[in-house]
């Protein structure tokens, strides 16, 4: 049975996570796809093609992506290379305290460039990426024409 995991499953956005796929056939060619919807409902996605190692595992921190949104060894590449489906959109998080971005990770058999709604991924999981850590206080700043926010650690 194929399994994809993100460790830790819930983390602050500036912290690294480890993505691993297990249960593949040795040397199996797969596509890892990451996607999320922003606060306006816009879809951002990335994908990378990998060949499983002899144990049937893929670890983007150890194995080089063969192509897709990036190539080479990038442990966080699936999250760093998210691109909008609509041109000229930017991934912006406005509600930093109230909710995380929920990133869906999927493993597809072979080289997958599109997502056919009739097909199912081999495995999938969800990761939460928070923009404010637990106990952090957000203080709005308004002084003259200056606008901003001060984030105070617990």
**Phi, psi of 111, deg, nearest 5:** -90, 110
Torsion of CA 55, 59, 64, 65, to 10 degrees: 110
**Count of domains observed in the chain:** 1
Residue 109 main-chain phi, psi, to 5 deg:
-75, 135
Which 8-state DSSP code applies to residue 134? Answer: T
With a cut of 70, say whether residue 55 has pLDDT above it: yes
Report the candidate in 125, 106, 82 with the shortest Cα–Cα distance to residue 30.
Answer: 106
Q: What is the CATH number of the domain that holds 137?
A: 2.60.40.2240
In terms of residue numbers, what domain contains 39? 3-152
- The reply to whether the predicted model has a pTM over 0.85 is yes
Q: Is the pLDDT of residue 116 over 90?
A: no
Torsion, Cα 82 68 7 79, to 10 degrees, reads -10
pLDDT tens profile 86-114 = 999 999 998 888 899 999 999 999 998 87
Q: Helix, strand or coil for residue 84?
A: strand
| Cα–Cα distance for residue pair 96/24, rounded to 1 Å | 37
């Amino acid at each position: 049975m194929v399994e994809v995991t993100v460790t830790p499953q819930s983390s602050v956005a500036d912290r690294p996570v480890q993505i691993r796929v297990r249960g593949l056939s040795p040397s199996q060619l797969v596509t890892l796809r990451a996607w999320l919807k922003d606060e306006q409902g816009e879809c951002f996605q990335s994908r990378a093609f990998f060949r499983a190692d002899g144990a049937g595992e893929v670890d983007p921190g150890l194995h080089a992506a063969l192509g897709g949104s990036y190539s080479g060894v990038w442990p966080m590449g699936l999250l760093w290379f998210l691109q909008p489906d609509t041109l000229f959109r930017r991934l912006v998080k406005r509600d930093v305290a109230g909710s995380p971005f929920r990133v869906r990770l999927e493993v597809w058999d072979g080289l997958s460039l599109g997502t056919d709604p009739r097909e199912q991924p081999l495995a999938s999981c969800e990761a939460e990426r928070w923009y404010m850590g637990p106990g952090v206080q957000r203080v709005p700043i308004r002084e003259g024409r200056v606008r901003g926010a001060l984030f105070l650690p617990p």
